[in-house]
């Protein structure tokens, strides 16, 4: 779904009941395993368990709303990418979710980290990760951020404009530090995703256009700079991508640029980054690939294209973020009110309002993203009813889960869990309506550990100097 009304999609789909992919479940209590992390299950009473711990105990200890990370699962997903892409560099895309503990976890599982602000770099520094395995991204890095990256010794800086190339050359010369750089290019590939998260078409802010000639000019500028060490080309085509077709077209165009540069300069650049964007399952309609299947497909694509172009296969890298953090966490909420809203044609929808909302997950409102949900504190014998899980904010578009079948007897006090909430929920969270952001906790072996504490009203007031 895309927004078709200036005030948001909520104003454009009033007659919608449920999407065609959402089937009435045989058992409204059952979990669809591919939506959940590996240690999640329900016991005989229908109570959700994660990492050997009941959500009843979890909610009592830390309250709601809360983001719940399955540490075993997150580590396993990071490790699976490292193993499947052995011989490549795998960088965890920090923007999906980053805190000090997660930076340490992915580093311990063999991954580097891709950051795109000075704040994300500061977390990586605090975590004590090997900064030679950190890449600094971003389309408008400040002088302070570039200085921070150079002084910290990041392994690569991905340049995104001619202004940045000149800025980085001057700064590196001032500091006497050679900067290892990659040039981000736009390949003209339209990823099959929402317009706001498709990043390789021409009409957008990222990178240098291959078709327009700017990419070749940027490579030449970096190669001719005294203090820049040009190591390769970077391509990223978007997010939440399930098929390798887009990567194939992007790789072909990027490698053609790589080969053209080699022919014109006599130098084959040693590295190529294919970016990330690997999709995950948010609903029953999503069928993501595995790291092993992705690795097999991408290896085949690169080897075939390099052979056709007569160039050696460069040292390759990818940047999964959502595919690691997303399925590893769920959001847990408590129901406050339930309304049955009559629709035209004699049908109705349950509006289930919880104690969170668009301030802790903006993606449904921003991208019309789809999510699933389950009642997490009990088993129900009631029939399934079409429901919409909404938040507490003063906004008609404050929707967390647009369409889901929940038990018809869902009631105030129930716990509702939303799977696949680990990516871009806490990262994009806000204090809309002056609501403090929820904590992030990790669960493992029946123990809960706070990764990011719950904000308080005192935290918000401390920033208000008026």
* Residues with a known catalytic role: 394
Q: Note whether 113 and 81 are within 8 A (CB).
A: no
Nearest Cα neighbor of 319 from 40, 75, 74, 93 is: 93
Neighbouring residues of 147: CB distance < 8 A, sequence distance ≥ 6: 171, 175
Measured between alpha carbons, how far is 466 from 464 in angstroms, rounded to an integer?
6
Cα–Cα distance, 290 to 323 (Å, whole number):
9
Residue 37 burial (10 A CB sphere; 0-12, 13-18, 19+): buried
Partners of 278 in the β-ladder: 241
Residues whose CB is less than 8 angstroms from the CB of residue 29 and which lie 6 or more positions away in sequence, other chains included: 42, 46, 374, 375, 379, 380, 407
* Beta pairing, strands 41-42 & 48-50: antiparallel
Give the integer Cα–Cα distance in Å for 408 and 240.
32
Peptide bond into 65 cis (omega under 30): yes
Terminal C-alpha separation, the chain: 42
């Amino acid at each position: 779904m895309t927004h078709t009304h200036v005030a948001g999609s909520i104003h454009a789909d009033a007659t919608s009941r449920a999407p065609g992919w959402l089937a009435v479940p045989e058992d409204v209590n059952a979990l669809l395993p591919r939506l959940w992390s590996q240690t999640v299950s329900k016991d005989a009473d229908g109570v959700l368990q994660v990492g050997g711990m009941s959500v009843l105990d979890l909610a009592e200890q830390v309250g709601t709303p809360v983001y719940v990370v399955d540490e075993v699962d997150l580590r396993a997903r990071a490790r699976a990418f490292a193993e499947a892409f052995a011989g490549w560099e795998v960088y965890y895309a920090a923007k999906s979710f980053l805190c000090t503990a997660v930076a340490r976890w992915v580093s311990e599982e063999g991954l580097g980290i891709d950051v795109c602000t000075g704040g994300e770099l500061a977390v990586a520094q605090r975590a004590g990760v090997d900064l030679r395995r950190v890449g600094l991204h971003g389309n408008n890095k400040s002088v302070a951020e570039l200085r921070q990256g150079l002084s910290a010794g990041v392994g690569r800086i991905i340049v995104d404009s001619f202004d940045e190339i000149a800025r980085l050359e001057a700064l590196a010369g001032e500091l006497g530090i050679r900067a290892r750089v990659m040039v981000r290019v736009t390949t003209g590939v339209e990823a099959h995703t929402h317009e706001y998260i498709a990043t390789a078409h021409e009409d957008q802010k990222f990178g240098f256009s291959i078709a327009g000639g700017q990419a070749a000019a940027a490579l030449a500028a970096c190669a001719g700079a005294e203090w820049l060490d040009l190591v390769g080309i970077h391509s990223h085509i978007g997010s939440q991508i399930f098929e390798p077709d887009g990567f194939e077209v992007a790789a072909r165009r990027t490698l053609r640029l790589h080969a053209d540069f080699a022919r014109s300069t006599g130098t084959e650049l040693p590295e190529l980054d294919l970016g990330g964007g690997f999709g995950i399952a948010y609903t029953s309609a999503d069928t993501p690939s595995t790291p092993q299947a992705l690795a097999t497909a991408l290896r085949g694509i690169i080897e075939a294209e390099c052979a056709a172009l007569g160039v050696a296969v460069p040292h390759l890298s990818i940047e999964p973020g959502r595919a690691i953090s997303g399925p590893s966490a769920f959001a847990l909420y408590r129901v406050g009110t339930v309304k049955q809203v009559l629709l035209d044609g004699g049908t109705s929808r349950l509006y289930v309002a919880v104690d969170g909302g668009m301030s802790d997950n903006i993606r449904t409102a921003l991208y019309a993203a789809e999510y699933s949900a389950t009642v997490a504190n009990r088993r129900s014998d009631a029939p399934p009813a079409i429901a919409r899980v909404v938040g507490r904010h003063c906004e008609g578009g404050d929707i967390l889960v647009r369409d889901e079948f929940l038990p018809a007897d869902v009631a105030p006090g129930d716990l509702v869990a939303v799977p696949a909430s680990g990516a871009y929920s806490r990262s994009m969270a806000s204090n809309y309506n002056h609501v403090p952001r929820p904590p992030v906790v990790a669960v493992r072996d029946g123990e809960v550990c706070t990764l990011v504490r719950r904000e308080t009203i005192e935290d918000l007031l401390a920033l208000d100097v008026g």
